[in-house]
C-alpha cells in the first residue's frame, strides 16, 4: 500500500455530536493511517456540550480546540465516507468506499447513553484503522 493516507469523512446531518466524536477519535487513534474530517448538511453553533465534556473526561481531548461544525462543502474530497446513522436521508458525498455505522444519537440523553455511543465509535474507529492499514 502507498504512503498516501486515505481521507475519511464522518458525516451526520448537524455535524455536532457523533460525527465530531468520530473525527476526534479518528485523529486520536488513526492519525498514522488516515486524515479525518467531519461535516454535515446543516450546522450547529457549537459542538454538543455533553460530547465535549465527556471526551475531555474520558480521553483528555478538547474537541473545541481544533474542531467546529462544518458543511460538506467545507471539507476536501475524501476516499471514505462514514455516515453515523441519521435515520433520515444521510448526506451524500462522492467517495470510493461508504459505510453507515447506524449509531443512535445520544443528544439529550444520559451520560451513560453518551458513553455507550462513544465506546462504540472508538471500537468502530479501531476496526476502520485495521481495514485501511
Residue 29 sits in which domain range?
6-132
- Summarised one tens digit per residue, pLDDT across range 31-82 is 999 999 999 988 899 999 999 999 999 999 999 999 999 999 999 999 999 9
Closest listed residue to residue 28, CA positions, set 61, 58, 54: 61
Residue 1 lies in a domain: no
How many CA atoms does the CB half-sphere of 34 hold within 13 Å? 27
Closest CA to 35 of 73, 3, 71: 3
Secondary structure of residue 10 in the 3-state scheme: strand
Residue 127 lies in a domain: yes
- Tell me the three cell numbers of residue 81: 465516507
**In CATH, what number is assigned to the domain containing residue 66?**
3.40.50.2300
> Cα(92)–Cα(95) distance, rounded to whole angstroms?
9
Band (pLDDT 50/70/90 cuts) for residue 1 is very low
Integer Cα distance of 33 and 61 in angstroms: 19
Residue 57 lies in a domain: yes
pTM of the predicted protein model: 0.94
Number of domains in the chain: 1
Amino acid at each position: 500500500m502507498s504512503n498516501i493516507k486515505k481521507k475519511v469523512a464522518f458525516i451526520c446531518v448537524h455535524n455536532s455530536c457523533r460525527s465530531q466524536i468520530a473525527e476526534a477519535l479518528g485523529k486520536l487513534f488513526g492519525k498514522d493511517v488516515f486524515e479525518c474530517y467531519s461535516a454535515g448538511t446543516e450546522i450547529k453553533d457549537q459542538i454538543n456540550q455533553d460530547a465535549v465534556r465527556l471526551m475531555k473526561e474520558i480521553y483528555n481531548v478538547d474537541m473545541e480546540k481544533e474542531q467546529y461544525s462544518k458543511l460538506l462543502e467545507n471539507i476536501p474530497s475524501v476516499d471514505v465516507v462514514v455516515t453515523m446513522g441519521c435515520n433520515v436521508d444521510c448526506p451524500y458525498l462522492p467517495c470510493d468506499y461508504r459505510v453507515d455505522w447506524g449509531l443512535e444519537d445520544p443528544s439529550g440523553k444520559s451520560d451513560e447513553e453518551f458513553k455507550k455511543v462513544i465506546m462504540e465509535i472508538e471500537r468502530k474507529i479501531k476496526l476502520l484503522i485495521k481495514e485501511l492499514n
